[in-house]
């Protein structure tokens, strides 16, 4: 099956980082049952409904953020009639396009705002997303170009795993927005992750709600975590293990023996370990903290071996994947409601915008990422008011009265707290017989300091 715009590489990149959205520390086992797998304390969850938001309690933070201070040009990118915004992301890498649909999602949201007259009469002059080619040097050059040559008011969306751009934006106090799977969107007063900082230093904000909810009616709470063999994934698996056990689940095995993008030629040893990890029995849940090709290969292998429990990952959601037999009856973790949740007003609006202004974009994670990023920028502009400067904009977003997200479609973020850690809220979908359905609505848990 062939997907345009490089969908699979995008999902593989995001998946490994999605599991690393916790704090530091903790040990896991590698390819063997955990010696100490007793569940920890139970974490209270806040569950959303169609009309009632899920909430969470933030951790107070203190200290000076990087990139604070006055902007050298407080009216950069602003005229009486326009606000100049440019994106930055990986659009090509060895001929493979990646975040093009993130660009299209942002264009769709900005286009609707412009069609309605703009923000306080100012149209969004969106110049599109500049390509970093997945090169650190090119990433830094693009950041400098946007800040110093294009002189944009803000950089949005940011859609790259590289953070070299951040230095130029910091020096020029240019605001930036995106899904924070690079650390340039963390710990800085001028950068904002749409769901907070996914790569925190000393906080654990892993979203445990979907896993707890999927096992809620089962007496067996056992989980196996499978990751790839690199430092980020090992840390992500260890952090996830600690969070799930804190939430009352029982992690009976962790493994980081898989190679990124290379399913094992002979998975029999790993499969035997998984199928006996729960005191000689299979676990109730397998969380694939790995890339797309490993997920699809191992899901099929485990199903063929007779596994009948829950298999969940972060790469299985996209309407273009619905017919993929390898993912049938699997679950996908998301940080916002899926497009299938048509009773939600935000989902309907996003879908309408993409259909009308999205230039052929699919209803994908990456398209939603662009739309949400643009929507957050617009929310910040409206909260700041007509008398717009860079400093007033950043002061508003970092102030006590601004938040983004409604707790139903998307977890609520508040600043400066979410410069340091993510909003601990997530949903889950189930793909069954070629159709996606919401399995768990947005659920939030409280983060904690390590």
Burial string for 79-96 (b: 16+ CB within 10 Å, else e) reads eeebbbbbbbbbbeeeee
Tokens of 59: 């951790």
Asked, for residue 34, whether it belongs to a domain, the answer is yes
Q: Do 327 and 270 fall into the same domain?
A: yes
| CA dist., res. 285 & res. 213, Å (int) | 12
At 13, the pLDDT band (50, 70, 90 cuts) reads very low
Asked, for residue 148, whether it belongs to a domain, the answer is yes
The enclosing domain of 407 has a CATH number of 3.40.50.2300
Per-residue pLDDT for 16 more than 70? Answer: no
pTM above 0.85, yes or no: yes
Residue 23 pLDDT: 43
Strand pairing class (191-197; 176-180)? parallel
* Burial of 55 from C-beta contacts in 10 A (0-12 / 13-18 / 19+): middle
Per the listing, tokens 């273009």 go with: 320
Asked, for residue 1, whether it belongs to a domain, the answer is no
pLDDT digits (tens, 9 = 90+) for 166-175: 999 999 999 9
Asked, for residue 181, whether it belongs to a domain, the answer is yes
Tokens of 93: 């890498």
First and final C-alpha spacing in the chain: 43
In the chain, % of residues over pLDDT 70: 90
Spatial CA neighbour of 289 closest among 328, 315, 253: 315
Q: Do 174 and 301 fall into the same domain?
A: no
| CA dist., res. 117 & res. 81, Å (int) | 10
Q: Do 102 and 48 fall into the same domain?
A: no
| CA dist., res. 349 & res. 315, Å (int) | 24
Q: Do 330 and 364 fall into the same domain?
A: no
Tokens of 74: 């407080």
Asked, for residue 105, whether it belongs to a domain, the answer is yes
Per the listing, tokens 């290379």 go with: 262
CB 274 within 8 A of CB 304: no
Strand pairing class (82-89; 45-47)? unpaired
Residue 120 pLDDT: 98
At 62, the pLDDT band (50, 70, 90 cuts) reads confident
At 1, the pLDDT band (50, 70, 90 cuts) reads very low
Strand pairing class (222-228; 285-289)? parallel
pLDDT digits (tens, 9 = 90+) for 349-359: 999 999 999 99
Q: What is the CA radius of gyration of the chain?
A: 21
Q: Residues 51-77: what's their mean pLDDT?
A: 94
Q: Which of 109 and 60 is assigned the larger pLDDT?
A: 109
Q: Do 291 and 436 fall into the same domain?
A: yes
Asked, for residue 106, whether it belongs to a domain, the answer is yes
CB 180 within 8 A of CB 18: no
Asked, for residue 60, whether it belongs to a domain, the answer is no
Residue 378 pLDDT: 98
Instruction: Give phi and psi for 311, each to the nearest 5.
Output: -115, 125
Tell me the average pLDDT of the chain. Answer: 90
Tokens of 387: 């008398």
Which domain range does residue 394 map to? 82-202+341-424
Q: Residues 360-368: what's their mean pLDDT?
A: 93
CB 311 within 8 A of CB 286: yes
Q: Do 228 and 321 fall into the same domain?
A: yes
Q: Do 324 and 246 fall into the same domain?
A: yes
Q: Do 293 and 178 fall into the same domain?
A: no
| CA dist., res. 76 & res. 81, Å (int) | 13
Asked, for residue 2, whether it belongs to a domain, the answer is no
Residue 414 pLDDT: 93
């Amino acid at each position: 099956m062939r997907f345009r715009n490089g969908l699979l590489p995008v999902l593989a990149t995001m998946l490994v980082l999605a599991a690393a959205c916790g704090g530091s520390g903790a040990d896991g086992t590698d390819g063997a049952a955990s010696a100490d797998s007793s569940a920890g304390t139970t974490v209270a969850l806040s569950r959303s409904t169609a009309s009632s938001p899920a909430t969470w309690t933030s951790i107070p933070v203190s200290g000076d953020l990087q990139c604070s201070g006055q902007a050298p040009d407080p009216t950069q990118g602003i005229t009486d009639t326009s606000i100049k915004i440019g994106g930055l992301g990986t659009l090509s890498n060895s001929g493979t396009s990646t975040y093009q649909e993130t660009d299209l999602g942002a264009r769709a949201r900005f286009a609707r705002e412009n069609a309605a007259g703009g923000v306080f009469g100012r149209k969004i002059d969106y110049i599109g997303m500049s390509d970093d080619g997945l090169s650190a040097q090119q990433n830094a050059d693009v950041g400098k170009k946007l800040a110093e040559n294009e002189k944009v008011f803000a950089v949005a969306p940011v859609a790259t795993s590289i953070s070299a751009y951040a230095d130029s934006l910091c020096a020029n106090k240019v605001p930036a927005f995106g899904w924070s799977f690079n650390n340039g969107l963390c710990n800085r007063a001028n950068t904002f992750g749409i769901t907070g900082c996914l790569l925190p230093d000393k906080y654990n904000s892993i979203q445990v709600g979907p896993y707890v909810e999927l096992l809620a009616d089962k007496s067996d709470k056992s989980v196996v975590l499978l990751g790839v063999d690199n430092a980020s994934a090992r840390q992500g698996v260890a952090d996830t293990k600690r969070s799930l056990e804190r939430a009352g689940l029982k992690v009976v095995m962790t493994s980081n023996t898989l190679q990124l993008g290379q399913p094992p030629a002979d998975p029999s040893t790993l499969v035997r370990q998984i199928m006996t990890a729960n005191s000689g029995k299979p676990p109730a849940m397998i969380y694939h903290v790995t890339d797309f090709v490993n997920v699809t290969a191992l899901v099929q292998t485990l199903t063929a071996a007779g596994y009948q429990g829950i298999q969940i990952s972060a790469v299985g959601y996209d309407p273009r994947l619905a017919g993929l037999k390898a993912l049938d009856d699997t679950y996908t973790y998301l940080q916002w409601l899926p497009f299938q949740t048509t009773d939600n007003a935000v989902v309907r609006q996003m879908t309408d915008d993409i259909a009308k202004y999205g230039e052929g974009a699919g209803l994908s994670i990456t398209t939603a990422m662009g739309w949400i990023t643009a929507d957050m920028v617009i929310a910040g502009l409206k909260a700041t008011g007509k008398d717009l400067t860079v400093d007033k904009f950043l002061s508003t977003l970092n102030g006590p009265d601004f938040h983004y997200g409604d707790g139903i479609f998307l977890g609520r973020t508040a600043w400066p707290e979410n410069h340091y850690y993510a909003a601990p809220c997530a949903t889950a979908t189930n793909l069954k017989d070629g159709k996606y359905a919401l399995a768990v609505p947005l659920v939030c848990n409280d983060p904690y300091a390590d």
